[in-house]
């Protein structure tokens, strides 16, 4: 049910996101006169840390954690005086004052926005709004954002990447997200691809039966949605068996579900041979999954010719632009 809701929300949002942001979508924050630096990271459709940290001229640091951070709520600290000079020099070195005020082109959807504001003597405060899906934003802007995190020590509140990984795993058990399919008695093999929570990944299932029937069910982000059927040749059936055997499928783990990278697609592969059945569930954010598993998934698509229904990458991209 959760995936259905997410899919509906993303479908609605993608229509507006592909048009790009307007100025009103990312408002300029109102700064108090004593603000020296302010860094804000907004939520995304995933597990992006969302928070605001504000540094005042008297050294006060105000932090507000909003989502997917170790510390939710408000915290306070003091910035050492020597760090002020480091921050000012850092902004000047990275030519912050020369940046445009907004980089809001939506080249990719559902990404977070980073808003950096800073003030210097004798000049009006400057705010740069950066939608991180804008591929035209300069690299030095990302350097400014990440560098301010380091200089202001936000990791003490948002947590390390390992700590945030634990937050995600506790909040969304991957075992529940990817249940093992139930196979009919006459199924020989099955390939199931499920879209991630973000990008337009193709979602479909291809099932091969003992009699050579191939059944395709397209769910989303594919050229053909719905059910189609085809028939595998005797040669394809033999190649299918050989593919699983040469991939040492029986020796793979049953699941590769480490959530190192969030919002990635799922691939579930099942095979039945001589009364023995095995299913391998693979979350593509698990960087430790063996290369031979990824190769098996790709070669199954090629052998079963799923591209005739799923479409080529250019064809799927064209669908998104309609």
Parent domain of 241: 174-321
Query: Higher-confidence residue: 285 or 229?
Result: 229
How far is C-alpha 69 from the geometric centre of its chain's CA atoms? 17
Give this prediction's pTM: 0.54
Q: How confident is the model at residue 322 (pLDDT cuts 50, 70, 90)?
A: low
| Mean pLDDT for the stretch of residues 112-136 | 92
Give the separation between CA 320 and CA 130, rounded to whole angstroms. Answer: 24
Give the separation between CA 213 and CA 271, rounded to whole angstroms. Answer: 15
Claim to verify: residue 190 and residue 117 sit in the same structural domain:
no
Claim to verify: residue 254 and residue 304 sit in the same structural domain:
yes
Q: What does the pLDDT read at residue 199?
A: 63
To the nearest whole percent, how much of the chain has pLDDT over 90?
Answer: 61
Nearest to 200 by CA among 48, 11, 47, 21: 11
**Three-class SS of 130-183:** EECCCCCCCHHHHHHHHHHHHHHCCHHHHCCHHHHHHHHHHHCCHHHHCCCCCC
The answer to whether 203 and 284 are in contact (CB under 8 A) is no
Claim to verify: residue 112 and residue 30 sit in the same structural domain:
yes
DSSP 290: -
Claim to verify: residue 192 and residue 307 sit in the same structural domain:
yes
Q: What is the mean pLDDT of the chain?
A: 86
Count of domains in the chain? 2
- CATH at residue 277: 3.30.1560.10
Claim to verify: residue 138 and residue 205 sit in the same structural domain:
no
Distances, alpha carbon 81 to alpha carbons 88, 89, 93, 96, 197, in Å: 11, 13, 19, 21, 43
Query: Which contiguous run of DSSP H or E holds residue 320?
Result: helix 313-321
The answer to whether 178 and 281 are in contact (CB under 8 A) is yes
- pLDDT tens for residues 1-44? 334 333 333 343 333 333 344 444 678 888 889 999 999 999 88
Q: Which of 2-16, 58-72, 107-121 has the lowest mean pLDDT?
A: 2-16
Claim to verify: residue 152 and residue 197 sit in the same structural domain:
no
Cβ-Cβ contacts under 8 Å for 129 (sequence gap 6 or more): 26, 28, 101, 102, 103, 104, 113, 114, 115
To the nearest whole percent, how much of the chain has pLDDT over 70?
Answer: 85
Q: Is residue 3 part of a domain?
A: no
Nearest to 51 by CA among 65, 39, 61: 65
**Beta-sheet pairing, 276-283 with 255-256:** parallel
Find residue 214's DSSP bridge partners: 208, 230
Q: Which of 6-15, 137-146, 223-232 has the lowest mean pLDDT?
A: 6-15
The count of residues in the chain is 322
**Three-class SS of 191-215:** EEEECCCCCCCCEEEEEEECCCEEE
Give the separation between CA 2 and CA 14, rounded to whole angstroms. Answer: 18
The answer to whether 79 and 63 are in contact (CB under 8 A) is no
Claim to verify: residue 210 and residue 313 sit in the same structural domain:
yes
Residue by residue, DSSP assigns 40-68 as EE---SS---EEEEEEETTSEEEEEEEES
Residue 90 in this model has a pLDDT that exceeds 80: yes
Q: Is residue 6 part of a domain?
A: no
- pLDDT tens for residues 153-207? 999 999 998 898 888 767 655 555 566 788 889 999 999 998 876 667 899 999 9
Claim to verify: residue 180 and residue 250 sit in the same structural domain:
yes
| Mean pLDDT for the stretch of residues 138-142 | 96
Last residue of one domain, picked from the residues 128, 160, 192: 160
Residue 208 in this model has a pLDDT that exceeds 60: yes
Find residue 189's DSSP bridge partners: 208, 271
Claim to verify: residue 210 and residue 78 sit in the same structural domain:
no
Q: What does the pLDDT read at residue 103?
A: 95
Nearest to 34 by CA among 14, 60, 16: 60
Claim to verify: residue 150 and residue 213 sit in the same structural domain:
no
Give the separation between CA 200 and CA 265, rounded to whole angstroms. Answer: 10
Tokens encoding 319: 């669908």
């Amino acid at each position: 049910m959760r995936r259905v809701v997410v899919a509906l929300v993303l479908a609605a949002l993608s229509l507006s996101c592909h048009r790009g942001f307007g100025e009103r979508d990312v408002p300029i924050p109102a700064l108090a006169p004593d603000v020296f630096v302010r860094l804000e990271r907004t939520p995304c459709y995933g597990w992006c840390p969302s928070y605001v940290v504000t540094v005042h001229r008297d050294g006060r640091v105000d932090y507000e954690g909003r989502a997917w951070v170790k510390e939710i709520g408000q915290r306070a600290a003091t910035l050492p005086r020597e760090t002020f000079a480091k921050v000012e020099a850092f902004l000047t070195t990275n030519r912050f004052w020369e940046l445009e005020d907004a980089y809001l082109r939506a080249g990719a959807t559902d990404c977070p926005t980073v808003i950096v504001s800073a003030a210097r003597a004798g000049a009006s405060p400057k705010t740069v709004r950066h939608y991180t899906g804008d591929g035209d934003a300069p690299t030095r802007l990302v350097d400014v954002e990440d560098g301010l995190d380091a200089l202001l020590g936000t990791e003490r509140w948002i947590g390390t990447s390992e700590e945030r990984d634990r937050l995600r795993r506790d909040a969304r058990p991957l075992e529940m997200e990817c249940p093992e399919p139930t196979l009919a008695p006459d199924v020989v093999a099955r390939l199931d691809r499920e879209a991630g929570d973000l990008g337009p990944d193709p979602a479909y299932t291809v099932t091969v039966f003992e009699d050579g029937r191939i059944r395709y069910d397209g769910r989303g982000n594919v050229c053909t949605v719905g059910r189609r059927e085809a028939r595998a040749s005797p040669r394809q059936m033999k190649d299918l068996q050989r593919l699983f055997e040469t991939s040492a499928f029986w020796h793979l783990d049953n699941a590769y579900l480490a959530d190192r990278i969030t919002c990635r697609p799922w691939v579930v592969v099942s095979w039945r041979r001589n009364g023995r059945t095995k299913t391998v569930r693979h979350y593509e954010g698990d960087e430790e999954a063996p290369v031979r598993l990824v190769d098996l998934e790709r070669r199954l698509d090629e052998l079963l010719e799923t591209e005739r229904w799923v479409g080529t990458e250019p064809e799927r991209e064209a669908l998104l632009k309609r």
